[in-house]
Structure 1
Amino acid sequence: MKLNKLVGISLACAIALTGCSTTVERVDASTVADLSGAWNDTDSQLTAKTMVADALTRPWFSKHLKATGKSPTVIVGRINNLSHEHINTQTFISDIERELINSGEVEFVADSTARKEIREERGDQDLNATEATRNAMGQEIGADYMMQGNINTIIDVDGSDQVRFYQVDLELVSMKDNRKVWIGQQKIKKLVENSKMRK
């Protein structure tokens, strides 16, 4: 009797565990999968691509070429997440950096964190590398412009339905005199039906 009861409990547990099992399907990284309506990788990539393309066609770019005879040097600064949700701004910054570098239109310099590590390596080379292979201090290229900005949201809720509005504002600032030479804006609006997301 006890044995039959134990077998029955074990069988019931096995069935329950099978019913709750997780399935995983690999998909192409470029596949658009908007499950929750929240900011996702597609929003990040498309916004970066659109805004960088816009920035590089504006008058500041041709004015810089005319005045200096060389491509502008750009660095990406802080992108602030002022939205209602957690957004990994570092992946968005990486998308912007990739679009700027791959455009071939601008020179690009490393951010402050990367520069610190490189300077440490250069200092180590100064002590330990041969003179022929050593990279000297004081040869860095300074940025002409810094790109920075904010991500904001407005959430409109009616029952289980939501409209999620994202607004990304970026600006390009001259390092020489703090002039804003370009301001860009990208808006994304999503209707999320039967949403279980909180505001």
Structure 2
Amino acid sequence: MAALMAVSLLAACSTKVSRVGAEEQIDVTDSWNATDSKLVADKMIEDMVTFPWLKEWEEKHDRKPRVIIQSVRNKSHEHIPVGTFINDLKRAMLKSGKMQFVSGGAEREAVREEREQQDVYATEKTRAEMGAETGADFALAGSINSTVQQASGKRVTFYQVDLELINLTTTEEAWYGQKKIKKVADKGGLF
């Protein structure tokens, strides 16, 4: 009898898991999530390519501008996986077809290390050439900020993402973008 009750109790407490499409929006809390990351990245890059800087660049140069992501800082009240947001930005930039993306930071260092290894171990015909990197024309940098207001069983979480595109030669700001998200949560186990 005790074993039957234990099995019944375990069955009642079990978690049901189902698969959904990665693009499907599911909000179980008012925290920043994958939908927010993709939505903000897509909208901001869409805005970036409509600003005058791009047309001016295209008129002066015979190639697409090269962009490097310098940094995106999380200044919000919660842990936000900034790496995921940066990857969403990279994808949106490349998908636009309007610019080229240049790797930086740890990715660039790993490629340089690989090239050094090839210089020693790969044949001359197949090794990647040293000193042939492509430089960036623009650097993208920004931050994710948030505020939270809470009263009478309701919480409002406000996110603001600010990004700026800086010309690396002149240090002029070519573009400044801002995207805001506001989420409302009613008390129901969320907080």
Output the TM-score relative to the length of structure 1: 0.91
Query: 2:17: which partner in 1?
Result: 24
How many pairs were matched up? 191
2:42 to 46, 49, 55: 49
Map Cα deviations across residues 7-48 of structure 1 (whole Å, 9 max, x no partner). x33232222211110110111111110111111111110110
Q: Is the 8 A contact 1:36 1:195 kept in 2?
A: no
2:83 to 67, 70, 90: 90
Q: Is the 8 A contact 1:55 1:182 kept in 2?
A: yes
Output the TM-score relative to the length of structure 2: 0.95
Say whether 1:114 aligns with 2:107: yes
In structure 2, the CA distance between the partners of 1:196 and 1:83, relative to structure 1 (3 Å rule), is farther
Map residues 131-170 of structure 1 onto 2, 5 A cutoff: 131-170=124-163
2:179 to 186, 189, 197: 186
Structure 1: runs of 5 or more not aligned: 1-7
The two structures, once aligned, show a CA RMSD in angstroms of 1.3
Question: How far did residue 130 of structure 1 move?
Answer: 1.6
Question: How far did residue 69 of structure 1 move?
Answer: 2.6
Classify the secondary structure of the residue corresponding to 1:34.
Answer: coil
**Aligned residue identity for 1:102:** K
Map Cα deviations across residues 92-121 of structure 1 (whole Å, 9 max, x no partner). 000000010111111111122111111111
Question: How far did residue 160 of structure 1 move?
Answer: 1.9
Classify the secondary structure of the residue corresponding to 1:37.
Answer: coil
Q: Runs of 4 or more off by more than 6 Å in structure 1?
A: none
Q: Is the 8 A contact 1:80 1:89 kept in 2?
A: yes
**Aligned residue identity for 1:81:** N
In structure 2, the CA distance between the partners of 1:77 and 1:196, relative to structure 1 (3 Å rule), is farther
State, as a whole percentage, how many aligned pairs show the same letter: 40
Q: Which has the larger radius of gyration?
A: 1
Partners of 1:103 and 1:132 in 2: CA distance: 34
